[in-house]
Structure formats: C-alpha cells, structure tokens
A and B are shown apart, each in its own frame.
Chain A
Amino acid sequence: MGLAILLCVFGVGVVIGAPVAFAMGFAALAAFWYEGFPLLITFQRATAGVSVFSLLAIPFFVFAGEIMLHGGIAGRLVKLASALVGHLKGGLAMVNIFSSMLFGGISGSAVADISALGSLLIPVMKERGYRPDFAVNVTVTSSIAGIVIPPSHNMIIFAVAAGGGISVSKLFLAGVVPGILMCVCLAIAAYILSVKHKYPSEPFPGWAEVRRSSFDAIPGFFTAVIIVGGTLSGIFTVTESGAFGAVYAVLLTKFYYKDLSWESFVKSVTGAVRTTAMVMILIAFASSFAYLLALYQVPAKLSTALVTISDNPIMILLMINLILLILGMIMDMAALILICTPIFLPIAKGLGMDPTQFGIMMLINLGLGLCTPPVGTCLFVGCAVGKIKIEQALKSIWPFYVAIFGALMLVTFVPQVSLWLPSLSE
C-alpha cells in the first residue's frame, strides 16, 4: 500500500504538471506519513543526497560550460569544426555534429550545447537553404553526444547512484567511443539527407585557415583535457579536476581570449546557479524517493518480474532499453539515473553486463528521451532556438532517431564498444 501511495502521488503530480523534483518530494512525504515515519526523514535524505563529495563536480562542470558559452570558446570550436568538415556534403550539418562532439565533450550538458551551437548554427543553416526542421533535428540529436563524451556530470551522478563501486575515470574512457560512434551515425544520416535534399557544401578554406583556427581553439579545448586528463591520470579527483578546469576556463577567456566581460561573467555565474540548483534539487528529492523504493524492495521485485517474462538475456536487455527509453521521455535525466540505477544495475550485472557498459547504455537511452516529447527538454530548446513547432521537428526527426538507436544497440550488445578503451588503461 505504501508503494502504491508513493507511485500514485508521484504519478498524479507529474500528470498535472507539478515540478518533478517536488512531486518526488511530496510522494516521499506521503509514503513516510503512511508508514508512520517522521516526515523530516524526507528532508534529511534530501540534504544527505546533495552533500556528496563527488557531486561537487557538477557545479564546476556546469560553470565551465557557461564560461565557454559566454566567453568565446564555443564560437572558436565552431570555427575549427567549420574549417575541418564544412567542405563535406551538407557541410553545415557536419559542422554542427562535429562541434557538438567538441563542445558537448567539454560542457557535458546537452541543453547548453543546443543553446550555444543552435543559436550560432541554426540561423546560418536556414540562410544557406537547409530546411529549418533539418537544422533543428541535427542540433538536437547531436547534443546527446555531450552526455556520453567525457567529462559529463551525468556520469558522476551514475557513479554515485551505483553506490560508489564504479570508477569515474573508467566511465569517462568508456564514453569516448560510443560518443564518437553516435556522431558518426548521425553524420551518415545527415549526409544521406543532404544528398537527397541537395544541401550545399562550404568551400574548403585552405590548410592555413585550418591551422589558424586549430591554434585558436586548442587552448579552449584544453579545458576538457585538464578535467579528463586530471581524472584519468589519477593526479586529481574528479571534483578537483572540475574546479581546476573551471578556474582555467575563467583565466583563459579573461586574459588570453579577452572575451569575458563582467556582464558575461555574471551571466555565466547566474546561469550556472540556475542549472545547478535545478539538477541538485532533483538529486535531493530523488534520494528520498530512491530510499523508499529500496525500502519497498522494488529493485528485487522488478528483477524477478523481468526474469519471469523472459529468461533470454537479449530480450531482457531490450526490455530494459525500452523501459529506460519510455521513462526518459517523461522524466528528467538526473532523477532517473538515481532511481533506475539501483533497480536495473543488479539485473544487468546478473546477465553478465559490465556496470560501466550499463552506465553508458543508460545515458544514451535517457539522452534519447531528452529529444522526445512529452518532456524532451532538448527538443523544446532546439525548437525554440530554431523558431519551429515541435510537430514540424518530429515529422522529420526519425532518420536521426534510427541513427542513435543503431549506436545504442551496438553499445548494448557489443561490450567492446564501451569497454575497449578502458581495457587499454588497465
């Protein structure tokens, strides 16, 4: 009965449009009240949920992303991508995807990726004759790469949700190949559509321009090298790397690029505060919610139910993918990682899947949910930037869904895709 109250209150909260974080908090309150526990446990769990040392990396990553957005690093990465791949068929779509790989890799935020690159590239793509829905769909779907290409704050949330037994360094390495694979799949889809719609390619600017834009972008790209390299080398913890990366980004944009004004600094700080608060409050109340799910033994019950439906590992993995995909469509990523990891990770481990591989699979699934209504934050932001209706974007997004789904299946069923790179470092 307590579990029914928890899920019903939460379900009603989500359906009527209450903020998801508070719907989880209110559901937890109702369940604790029903069980006769003191209500303050909800808030004790919430405070404990955010007071986790590894999670301190989140504000640093988010802040570094904001500084890159407002301090001129994003623009330089687009210039580099333009010089490198702009001359291919559907050049600007390729630039968009390649820029997402570079920028998303540093900011780790899909929404920041769309805001930064979408506002730069979508208007230019429209001007050059690309259909607006194509421009939006390329931007939206390529932003998912940022979730798996390191450094990604979602990987840290996954490591925390898994109980601390998973190395963040291994997760960082495991995300590289799937991230690149996703971008390659998207580039193939964009290429085929570009040939079909006769989209133009940009003139090759010459090797001198490639060299110049590379030198200009490399110091900015070094932010990611500091964060990932610091963590992988074991010199810094992930939190220290994040802090160092954030300070480096400020110093670089202020004193080297000279693009960081006081106004853009304030914009970056307030932007980072808003995003961090939104993510952390979800983590806080998801902790209370996940505590109750564990108390009601939901992971064990669901595991038994899944095994009862089928004992074929392929079927079970497909079912887990489907459930994650559906959940990703209706809830936010951070909360889902905290709630679903304790439920599905033991099942995946039972099937012989490596926890790191499971983490990458989960992130791609939930990332795909960000591009799908009804929640689809990335799709909403992309459509707002591209000034088109969601229905318009949805009509032509399917080739990109197919591309990402292809990459997802490879990550799910070919362990080497995510585990090859970490195995080299062992």
Chain B
Amino acid sequence: MSDQSPFIQRLELALDWVRSLCILISSIALVVLITTFGWLVFGRYVLNVTPTWVEQLALLLICYIAFVGAAAGVNEDTHIGVSLFRDMMPVTVQKTIIIFIDIILAAFGAIMLSAGVTLMQFGWDSNLPMLEIPESFRTLAITSCGALIFLFAGSRGLIRILTFSAWLPEADLKES
C-alpha cells in the first residue's frame, strides 16, 4: 500500500500505537500473573501463609491477557484461519472476501462492545471475591476487546476499501 494519503498514514500509525499499547497491557498482566503466582507458591509452601487474593487476581488477569491480546491479534492478523479455499479464487474475489471479513469482524466487535457494557452494568453492584472490586472489572476486558476489534477491523476494512487497487492478498503478495 505505497503512495498512501496522509489520512491513511496517520490512521495506520495510530492503529500501530494502539496495538503496541494492547501488547504492553497484556504483557504487564502476564508478568504480574507470574510474579504474584510465584509469590503464592512461595507463601503457601515456604512461609506457610497463603495470599488467597492471588487466585482471584489471576482469574481477572487472564481475562485481560486473553481478550486484549486477542484484539491485538486482529490487528496483527495472527489468529488461526483457513485461507486455502479463499486463495484459490481470483484476486478481486479474494480482496472482496477479505473486506467482507473485516466488516463482519467489526460488527462482531460492536456487538461484543454493547454486550460488554450491559454486563458491566449488571456487575457493578457485586464484588469479585477477595479483591473487593466490582465484578465489572472482569467484563471490562470483554468490553475493551469489543471496542478494539471494532476499531482494528473497521479501520483495516476502511483502508482496504479506500486503497482497493493498491494492495494484494497475502498469498498473491508472496507469489509476486
């Protein structure tokens, strides 16, 4: 996608920045998960004191690693999919399908965001055991994931539509 308009360049830069932020948040969550769980094992078997909040914190952190990390994966296109059948089709059909997938993914993200907001409203009055924070902090992960998928897939679809003649599907890119 060379010779891009300044708008597209700025958008891609912003998306890259948001994706890096997602990876950073998930990475911090993973490091905290490993450190606190290491501390739990040390406390339980060496100090004979079990920090019980660690288990609940771990269940909260895994949601952020899974959902925020997965949203970054949408931008990086690292999720497992079967492109074999699509690759057999003419280039224009392939490109149309790829844009269709982007639109469907953006719609999925929007529904996820809306469901996440509802779940957060439900969970505001009940607390996560041991952590004493609202249950909504768990569903915030899915809400953020929905918003990020909407942003990444929607923007990518928009860029692909605006530059339809300037890009090739991955399989054809390798061949050329």
Contacts and interface: CB of A to CB of B under 8 A. Distances in A.
B62 A274 contact: no
A270 B76 CA distance: 13
Contact of A243 (B40, B62, B66, B72): B40
A59 B61 CA distance: 11
B73 A274 contact: yes
A47 B40 contact: no
B41 to A, nearest CB: 5
A20 B33 contact: no
Contacts of B151: none
Interface in B25-41: 26-27, 30-31, 33-34, 37-38, 40-41
Interface in A198-254: 235-236, 239-240, 243-244, 246-247
Contact of A26 (B33, B62, B104, B138): B104
B80 A276 contact: no
Contact of A278 (B80, B97, B139): B80
Contacts of A47: 63, 119, 138-139, 141-142
B73 A278 contact: yes
B83 interface: yes
Contact of A56 (B38, B41, B58, B101): B58
B30 A20 contact: no
Contacts of B147: none
Interface string A363-396: 0000000000111010000000000000000000
Contact of A59 (B33, B112, B115): B33
Contacts of B65: 59, 273, 276-277, 280
Given A42-B115, A59-B62, A20 B101 contact: no
Contacts of B33: 56, 59
Interface of B is mostly: helix
A376 B134 CA distance: 42
Contact of B82 (A17, A59, A273): A17
Interface string B103-117: 011001001100110
B81 A19 contact: yes
A55 interface: yes
B85 A56 contact: no
16 contacts: A15-B85, A17-B97, A18-B105, A19-B80, A47-B63, A53-B59, A60-B34, A240-B40, A247-B41, A276-B30, A276-B69, A277-B70, A277-B72, A280-B66, A332-B80, A373-B84
Task: List the 3 shortest-distance A-B pairs measured between CB atoms, nearest first.
Answer: A277-B69, A19-B79, A280-B66
Given A15-B82, A280-B65, 18 more contacts: A14-B81, A16-B101, A18-B81, A26-B104, A39-B111, A43-B119, A43-B142, A63-B30, A63-B34, A244-B41, A277-B65, A277-B72, A280-B69, A280-B70, A281-B66, A281-B67, A330-B82, A377-B80
